[in-house]
Structures are given as C-alpha cells and as structure tokens.
Structure 1
C-alpha cells in the first residue's frame, strides 16, 4: 500500500483548492470514472465539462467569488456538481 505522499506524487501539483485538486486528477485520467449516482456514471472529463457549463451559468446570473449559493436538495450527483461549479468560481455552496 502506498503512503499518502506516494499517492500525491502520482498526480500533477495543484494549488490546494478543490478546483485545483480536481483539475490535477482529471489530467491524470480524463476518461476514468469519477462519480456514480444511481444509474448515472460520470467520467472526470464529462463531470468537468458539466461543471464548467454550470459555473458559466452561475456567473451569467451574477454569482461571483465569495458569494454564497444555497441549495435545498437531496444528495445527488447534481449536488456534487454544484459544489464543484461553485469552487471553480470561488463561490461558497451552502447546503440548507
């Protein structure tokens, strides 16, 4: 079994943000499976593309770095997608 440091060395360096860690891991295997929720499966690339699209939609609605985005929903892949989209633009997801 590899140590945590050995695992970290397998991936490109990142800026220690959620968005940075995701981008680093995506580079290492964009078509690998990233997330499974019920009958939906997301590759790193598909999830990244959807997250970018959602981040752009949030930005178009005036959401910016430091803003809080509330979500009232059950846990799902959409919930995770919103978390990563917010991280991409520097907004803060607030589950309610």
Structure 2
C-alpha cells in the first residue's frame, strides 16, 4: 500500500520524520507512514495522531465528509463538565457546524 499511496508534496515538506535534523538527540523514527482504512458509512472520531505525525486523507473511492465545529466558551465548559452525550439543550456547538467533503 505504501508504494500505491503517496502524500502530497506539501505534506512531504512538513513531515518531521522526512526532515529529521542530523544533530538530533533522538534517532530518526523507523516508521514514516501508517494507514487508517475506513469502509463505507464508517465514522472516525476526532483524535490527535501520535508522536507529532502529520496526516492526510487519500480517498480511493467514494467520499469522506468532515464536520468542522467552531467552539465557543459555553461548549468547552459543557464538555469539561462531562456534558456528554452532547445535546442541543446542554451545548450549543451543533448550531455552528460546517462540513467539507473530499471525493475521489
């Protein structure tokens, strides 16, 4: 799969592992790519990739929709207080959702 899917040139320039300093205290990581596969109608929650990894999406077939939410202080307070599951009565973030779709 690694030889089939390549990151965009912009991502290659940003990848820390591809631009590892020669005088770094730690050795260059041996893994520079990982793969997350998503099947039709699947859901990927928000997460932070480990070790400062850079991520990009390559849609082979179909589309992937991202829901982008602009948070307000009331939303952050609601989530920090354990306001899950989020409901419109308890949190206002659902009123500020936009989406972006990537299609093959």
TM-score, normalisation: structure 2: 0.25
Whose strand fraction is larger, Structure 1's or Structure 2's?
1
Whose helix fraction is larger, Structure 1's or Structure 2's?
1
TM-score, normalisation: structure 1: 0.26
When Rg is computed on C-alpha atoms for both structures, the one with the higher figure is: 2
